[in-house]
Amino acid sequence: MFSPAPHKGNLVARLHGSGARKPILLLAHLDVVPALREDWSVDPFKLTEKDGYFYARGSSDDKYMASAFVTNLIRYKQEGYKPDRDIIVALETDEEILDANALGIQWLIKNHRDLIDAEFALNEGGGVGLENGKATRVSVQTTEKVSVSFALEVRDRGGHSSVPRKDNAIYRLAEGLVRLSNFSFPLHLNDTTRAYFDHVAQLEGGQTATDIRAMVADKPDTDAVARLSQSAGYNAQLRTTCVATMLSGGHAVNALPQTAGAKVNCRIMPGEPVEEVKATLERVLADDKIAVTQIDKGVISQPSALNEEILGSIEKLSAEFWPGAVVVPIMSAGATDGSYLRNAGIPTYGHSGMANDVSDLRAHGRDERVPVNSFYRGEEYLYRLVKMLSGGTS
């Protein structure tokens, strides 16, 4: 089974099936975002079990899926399970840098398509939401926002700080950023987010449900949209967002700054042209001394359609694992390598089976953790789900 092919830090393993159908690809990434040791209450680079959680950088994003897929593949092999299609596990690198150097998923697609070619893929991007300990939603990610970053820069001739001028690179940049912080992109819904909010309205009840209905109406109610936008999670589903993430400027404490720069990361609704977002940024910054340069390329992809076999299996199994929870199609506000696979013609679903409190999502943040029981339950769920989708015999 394991012909683990190490390729530029990517690993691929395959359990051979009868070949009656095209394979399933199980994709997880091994790389993580950096963590500042001094910010954490435990060592981020050592797996620590504490208070019912596994703490570690990457514990939720995305080592859980990598370990679950590998464990399950070994378990199928030990059982002598014969699926009706090959089951491929691909562990890839560089997801967290959006595969900027094309050594991760893009490298696999380009050089070893044969190793990972599949009818569809399961990937990160959709988990199980717990509220007060009870599972309320089981997410299936079918599309994602497009991440594009911009550099903002103000240049000035500088001078001695003992003779300051009103015109100052740092102040100009700061004022532009304040204008950006007060700006919201217009409301933009798509089929996935409409379906998502339909489900949310059923779950939430009360003012939120009323607001959602007023928001999805033909003429969206602006007060309702404003109230919903106060939730960062909902806001990210409602529109394109652009936020300042890095700042630099000046070269000496006693010199007027010759440069001031910021990085702004935008998460663009699928279908919105990047040039339009850039033009909006320039309009909102409202200062032609603030130069705006796009510094990376967004990966734009079409949503993956949910077919009956996949959705039906997820609904059936979810009802058993998390009774009462609703299966909801979602758009990720974050980006994953699902976009590259979708563009390569492999429909991709972000679906992890990992249950976590909706207010305790720490991926990329400090003290990243996953509940220990969710970890093992999710692994069991994926074991069953992949078995259902590969209808073989033991």
User: Residue 314, CB half-sphere, CA atoms under 13 Å: how many?
Assistant: 25
- Of residues 220 and 334, the one with the C-beta less far from Zn ion: 334
Work out how close the CB of 124 gets to Zn ion at its nearest, in angstroms, rounded to a whole number.
5
CA-to-CA distance for 201 and 244, rounded, in angstroms?
Answer: 31
CA-to-CA distance for 174 and 156, rounded, in angstroms?
Answer: 14
Count the residues in the chain: 394
Bridge-based pairing state of the strands 120-123 and 348-350: parallel
Work out how close the CB of 29 gets to Zn ion at its nearest, in angstroms, rounded to a whole number.
6
Work out how close the CB of 270 gets to Zn ion at its nearest, in angstroms, rounded to a whole number.
19
Work out how close the CB of 365 gets to Zn ion at its nearest, in angstroms, rounded to a whole number.
13
- Of residues 62 and 94, the one with the C-beta less far from Zn ion: 62
Q: 143 and 331 in contact (C-beta within 8 Å)?
A: yes
Helix (H, G, I), strand (E, B) or coil at 87: strand
* Contact footprint for Zn ion (CB under 5 A): 61-62, 124
Radius of gyration from C-alpha coordinates of the chain? 23
Work out how close the CB of 30 gets to Zn ion at its nearest, in angstroms, rounded to a whole number.
10
Helix (H, G, I), strand (E, B) or coil at 70: helix
CA-to-CA distance for 190 and 187, rounded, in angstroms?
Answer: 10
- Of residues 123 and 304, the one with the C-beta less far from Zn ion: 123
Work out how close the CB of 162 gets to Zn ion at its nearest, in angstroms, rounded to a whole number.
50
Joined together, the tokens standing for residue 302 give: 């079409």
- Of residues 31 and 153, the one with the C-beta less far from Zn ion: 31
CA-to-CA distance for 43 and 58, rounded, in angstroms?
Answer: 12
- Of residues 338 and 371, the one with the C-beta less far from Zn ion: 338
List alpha helices for the chain, DSSP H: 64-79, 105-111, 113-116, 169-181, 191-204, 206-216, 222-229, 232-238, 274-285, 308-321, 338-343, 372-388
- Of residues 62 and 144, the one with the C-beta less far from Zn ion: 62
- Of residues 99 and 379, the one with the C-beta less far from Zn ion: 99
Alpha carbon separation from 226 to 229, 232, 298 (Å, rounded): 5, 11, 28
List alpha helices for 157-294, DSSP H: 169-181, 191-204, 206-216, 222-229, 232-238, 274-285
Work out how close the CB of 128 gets to Zn ion at its nearest, in angstroms, rounded to a whole number.
16
Work out how close the CB of 368 gets to Zn ion at its nearest, in angstroms, rounded to a whole number.
11
Work out how close the CB of 58 gets to Zn ion at its nearest, in angstroms, rounded to a whole number.
8
* Long-range CB contacts for residues 162-169, cutoff 8 Å, separation at least 24: 162/254, 164/256, 165/256, 168/256, 168/257, 169/249, 169/256, 169/257, 169/258, 169/259, 169/260
- Of residues 27 and 306, the one with the C-beta less far from Zn ion: 27
- Of residues 123 and 390, the one with the C-beta less far from Zn ion: 123
Which of 143, 129, 133 is closest to 318 using CA atoms? 129
